[in-house]
Structure 1
Amino acid sequence: MSFYDWITDSAQSIRTDGKEGVSESLYELRLGIVRRISKLNYEPTSIWEREWDLLIVLDACRLDLLQSVEEEFRFLDHPGSMTSTASSTTGWVERSFDTQYEQKLAETAYVTGNPNSIRAFPHEFPETCECGASLKPSYQAVYHEGRETCPSCGTQIQGERQVPVKVLQEVWRDSWDNSLGTIQPRPITNAAITTGRETDVDSMIVHYMQPHHPFIPAPELDQGSYIAPNDEERQKQSRTIWEQLRMGDVDKEVVWREYRNNLRHVLEDVELLLENIDGDVAVITSDHGNAIGEYGIYGHPPGTPIDSIVTVPWYETTAVDEESHSPTPNATNSNVTSEEVTERLQDLGYF
């Protein structure tokens, strides 16, 4: 956002929302300044620069958050850290699945509960329709629907999804829990175990949604970001948990407690996964963390590489399939509409 854009947006926001508009405008100004300064000494490390067979991604997990529970889980006994390539999942998936890593990706499985996988695997369209008209596919066509209508002749053109990984399991498509506004860890664990036992790949990335909000152990605190639990009409809420914290509507101690409980919730499944899959070098890491007031920033805004957001865990362990768990098949429904994808991203605080 340019300074001119900020002035224009601020004027509109203040006219519409009064004092709250002033607060939002000042926050955007601060965020812009922090973004510019934090990029000056930002030196990220790609996951492909490290050695691993099994990469377990805990979405939005701060380094100090994992450190605070490491004594509770025996597999968290080799701590470490790294600097993530992005401050949001969107940037992380785009960089991690970039074609420059195509040889490694060709022997990798990606099992994910995060709907932002759509940004890593877009649909590609021809430049022109058979009628000769130029095509300019919309965002919805490229990332959601995979089809576009020719503006000249009306023909429906199907795009080809670019999937450089050997196996792609988008578990969020069939196992999303609308009552929670997120996906539970178990469907992801089940899909990862099944993939590990039934496919031949060199490496696997398992992307859990927790500890990212909404906080499953405390749905009354974090109402699915924009969508309240059990709200069948999906009425938009006013603030995410991080916005509530920034505005003083909830105590920092309460947020930290439930953020940590949400981490414990997913780590129980990580423990189950490590006992039911093989991996000589298994790593527990994160795509990004969260700011909880550092430099006046909250959450994980894109393009903001401050330490609390981009310094993430890198805990190494070993996974051995002891066959102690037999996964139940997840439901099969990959025909998720564009509106449903948008709703699921809204649940997580996007858009």
Structure 2
Amino acid sequence: MRRQLLLSSVLGPIQKRIRGNDGEYVMDADWDNLIILDGCRYDLFTQIYAKNSLDGELSRFQSRGSSSPEFLSENFEGRTHNDTVYVTANPHEKRILDDTFYDTDRPWIDDWDDEAGTVLPAVLSERARSAHDTYPNKRLIAHFMQPHVPFIGETQLDVDSEITSGLRDMMLEDSMDDAPGFVWEELQNGDIEEGVFWEAYRDNLIRVLEEAVPLAKDLPGKTVITADHGNALGEWATPFPVPVYFHPTNIRMPELNTVPWFVPPYTERKQIVRSGDAPAEAIETPTAADESAESDESDESAVEERLSALGYAD
């Protein structure tokens, strides 16, 4: 965590003074459905795109964040998008966003897989389809958790089960580096070969694309598959020769900020309704209609637990 804080609090402000934030706002881009992959590098996506001959156009997009909290804050915080429904497997949104979208569905609360330590791609895909069926005239954002760790693809790395079960708390505190035995720490220390790590990372992307690509084809309108940020595997961040791992906040480097922008073929556009108040009842989740203090406390507990399971610790 000390490395994360140093990079975010020292290097980040220096880079910001030099170049500012040159990222693009996703809400200003042209799409009807936006599928967000969490922590997907552009070059990693390019490998899968070329090897599997994915049908569609691939280009680069500059993210405004190098971490999920920064991405969410830069793109959505303090704004209202009554034309958009958000379905997310990422617990960070609960602490950053407040009534931003017309509706928010949170599978990370009630469809979390304790054994895997994440929301499985098939579950998120199903919830996204349900959201579209409920709100066919709204823009749809489906935020998958993969290829972010834990790795659940064909190649898996040996991670302490106690760490996996507490990843949600760790994710909340942006402190995966402090998790003993955590894969990013092991990569940084040389305990995992970079080639093996990349293979597991790649297979995690393949796992989520097996759900995301069919979802993109099934949804009417123009669908874009992108990412909130990438991941650094020891590349240097200018102007200092400092190796960066994982995805610390406020850092500007291609491995973190350059993400895919993949547009599968489409034949129609959605008729988007850009007005209307938020619904009295959200897509059914345990906390949608309960705004009591007890419910808020329960939500906060769930946030910490899920983020710990994704690698962020106190």
Q: What's the TM-score bracket when you normalise by the shorter of the two chains?
A: 0.7 to 0.9
Give a deviation string over 1:88-123, Cα, whole Å, max 9, x none. 1011112222334x3xx11101011111111333xx
1:201 equivalent to 2:137? Answer yes
- For residues 230-241 of structure 1, what are the structure 2 equivalents within 5 Å? 237-241=179-183
SS of 1:38's partner is helix
SS of 1:261's partner is helix
Paired residue for 2:71? 92
Code of the residue aligned with 2:249 in structure 1: it is: P
Of 204, 210, 217, the match for 1:268: 210
For residue 176 of structure 1, report the CA deviation from its aligned partner. 0.7
Of 333, 347, 351, the match for 2:286: 333
Quote the Cα distance in structure 1 between the aligned partners of 2:11 and 2:265: 38
Paired residue for 1:284? 225
1:299 equivalent to 2:246? Answer yes
Quote the Cα distance in structure 2 between the aligned partners of 1:225 and 1:37: 38
1:227 equivalent to 2:169? Answer no
Tell me if the contact between 2:110 and 2:286 (Cα under 8 Å) persists in the aligned partners: yes
Give a deviation string over 1:298-340, Cα, whole Å, max 9, x none. 000111121110111111124579xxxxxxxx99534654333
Tell me if the contact between 1:213 and 1:224 (Cα under 8 Å) persists in the aligned partners: no
For residue 349 of structure 1, report the CA deviation from its aligned partner. 1.8
Paired residue for 1:107? 83
Tell me if the contact between 1:85 and 1:91 (Cα under 8 Å) persists in the aligned partners: yes
Which stretch shifts more, 290-299 or 65-74?
A: 65-74
1:191 equivalent to 2:104? Answer no
Quote the Cα distance in structure 2 between the aligned partners of 1:176 and 1:73: 30
Tell me if the contact between 1:35 and 1:305 (Cα under 8 Å) persists in the aligned partners: yes
Tell me if the contact between 2:90 and 2:145 (Cα under 8 Å) persists in the aligned partners: yes
Code of the residue aligned with 1:227 in structure 2: it is: I
1:118 equivalent to 2:94? Answer yes
Structure 1, unmatched stretches of 5+, are: 1-23, 122-161, 322-329
Paired residue for 1:66? 45
Tell me if the contact between 1:175 and 1:331 (Cα under 8 Å) persists in the aligned partners: no
- Alignment length, in residue pairs? 273
Code of the residue aligned with 1:245 in structure 2: it is: L
TM-score (norm 2): 0.77
Tell me if the contact between 2:22 and 2:62 (Cα under 8 Å) persists in the aligned partners: yes
- For residues 130-141 of structure 1, what are the structure 2 equivalents within 5 Å? none
Give a deviation string over 1:115-161, Cα, whole Å, max 9, x none. 1111333xxxxxxxxxxxxxxxxxxxxxxxxxxxxxxxxxxxxxxxx
1:62–1:197 Cα change, 3 Å: same
Structure 2, unmatched stretches of 5+, are: 171-177, 237-242, 269-282, 288-294
Tell me if the contact between 1:174 and 1:331 (Cα under 8 Å) persists in the aligned partners: no
Paired residue for 1:54? 33
For residue 348 of structure 1, report the CA deviation from its aligned partner. 1.4
Q: Sequence identity, in percent?
A: 32
Bigger CA radius of gyration: 1
Paired residue for 1:3? none
Tell me if the contact between 2:188 and 2:245 (Cα under 8 Å) persists in the aligned partners: yes
Quote the Cα distance in structure 1 between the aligned partners of 2:209 and 2:121: 9
Code of the residue aligned with 1:210 in structure 2: it is: Q
Paired residue for 1:312? 259
Quote the Cα distance in structure 2 between the aligned partners of 1:99 and 1:26: 29
SS of 2:201's partner is helix
**Higher relative contact order, structure no. (Cα contacts within 8 Å, ≥ 6 residues apart):** 2
Quote the Cα distance in structure 1 between the aligned partners of 2:144 and 2:160: 16
Of 38, 44, 49, the match for 2:15: 38
